[in-house]
Copies of this chain bind each other. A is one copy, B any other.
């Protein structure tokens, strides 16, 4: 089979319900989303967790896609079983292979819509560039973080996370659903523009490169001792400078931003990350020229697979 297929995974975290809800409605009414003639397969990432309204059952599905887990035969972690199932069906070497994947997430942080890219793979950067050129979405480039690995999209040749917030877990939101729909249609238009030989790349992109994550100050039994300072609450994507207040305790004790460099926080107070000991992640904003190799690689991937479209 040599047709280009795009995989949509919604509900990778079962309590992020807006994208899966949109997908289910789309299945009933194909006019809801214009996929620009592309072959799209849409699946619920973690159907059982979605049914139960939980992020996951045994382990975060979006941390299972690494060799250590994928080569294990332990059936006890249901998310590992599911990760293999997804790859066996829709992976690059699966029975119904997809070449590009979009993984839909929501966040309780005030991040608006954004793209998350894992590492510096040329196809991912090319596709993210096209989408940023079309919609202006900020790009968070996650790399070099040994404590957070095994992301779903990394198992495909090209894949992006679409992250939209703020919305509570297990809460349907009209604006979040509409933002999903807008981002999906723009993304499909970008891929279709490659198929038709007329992609409109910007000359530069803005990327936010992961530098580190900060945990809440905790007491000796591990309980958060302070909370996000109101000064930065909701100010994802805004540069922090040395001395800016970031945490404050009830006793008024403040923790100030202590880096010499300006850094840009993302995932401020994402409620699912407390267990991961992340109160926010810090990124460095950079402007990059578009690399012609990115374009070529993405074009190769798309054109090689679009024959039967």
Chain B residues whose CB sits within 8 angstroms of the CB of A169 once the complex forms = 168-170, 271
A76 within 8 Å of B (CB atoms) = no
Chain B residues whose CB sits within 8 angstroms of the CB of A216 once the complex forms = 172
User: Beta-carbon contacts of A211-238 to B below 8 Å, as 1s and 0s?
Assistant: 0000010000001100111100100000
Knowing A32-B251, A250-B25, A251-B32 are in contact, say whether A274-B170 is a contact too (CB < 8 A): yes
Nearest B residue (CB) for A229: B174
Nearest B residue (CB) for A172: B227
User: Beta-carbon contacts of A229-263 to B below 8 Å, as 1s and 0s?
Assistant: 11001000000000000001111000000000000
Cα separation A122 to B250 with both chains bound (whole Å): 35
Cα separation A14 to B15 with both chains bound (whole Å): 16
Chain B residues whose CB sits within 8 angstroms of the CB of A177 once the complex forms = 227, 250
Nearest B residue (CB) for A216: B172
- With beta carbons under 8 angstroms apart, the residue of B166, B171, B249 that contacts A271 is B171
- With beta carbons under 8 angstroms apart, the residue of B29, B174, B224, B233 that contacts A248 is B174
A24 within 8 Å of B (CB atoms) = yes
Instruction: Bin the interface of chain A by size.
Output: 35 or more
Nearest B residue (CB) for A165: B168
A59 within 8 Å of B (CB atoms) = no
Knowing A21-B224, A24-B223, A223-B24 are in contact, say whether A172-B269 is a contact too (CB < 8 A): yes
Contact A171 B269 (CB under 8 A): yes
For window 272-293 of chain A, which residues contact chain B by CB distance below 8 Å? Answer: 272, 274-275
Would you give the shortest CB distance from A214 to chain B, in whole angstroms? 14
A108 within 8 Å of B (CB atoms) = yes
Cα separation A171 to B229 with both chains bound (whole Å): 13
Contact B174 A228 (CB under 8 A): yes
A38 within 8 Å of B (CB atoms) = no
A22 within 8 Å of B (CB atoms) = yes
User: Beta-carbon contacts of A3-45 to B below 8 Å, as 1s and 0s?
Assistant: 0000000000000000001101110010010000000000000
Nearest B residue (CB) for A32: B250
Contact B32 A172 (CB under 8 A): no
Cα separation A53 to B233 with both chains bound (whole Å): 22
Chain B residues whose CB sits within 8 angstroms of the CB of A168 once the complex forms = 108, 166, 168-169, 271
Pairs A-B, 5 closest by C-beta atoms: A171-B271, A108-B168, A168-B168, A170-B271, A172-B227
30 examples of A-B residue contacts, CB within 8 angstroms: A21-B224, A24-B223, A25-B249, A25-B250, A25-B251, A26-B250, A29-B251, A32-B250, A53-B275, A108-B171, A166-B168, A168-B169, A168-B271, A169-B170, A169-B271, A170-B272, A171-B269, A171-B271, A172-B216, A172-B227, A172-B228, A172-B269, A173-B228, A173-B233, A174-B227, A174-B248, A175-B230, A175-B233, A177-B250, A181-B250
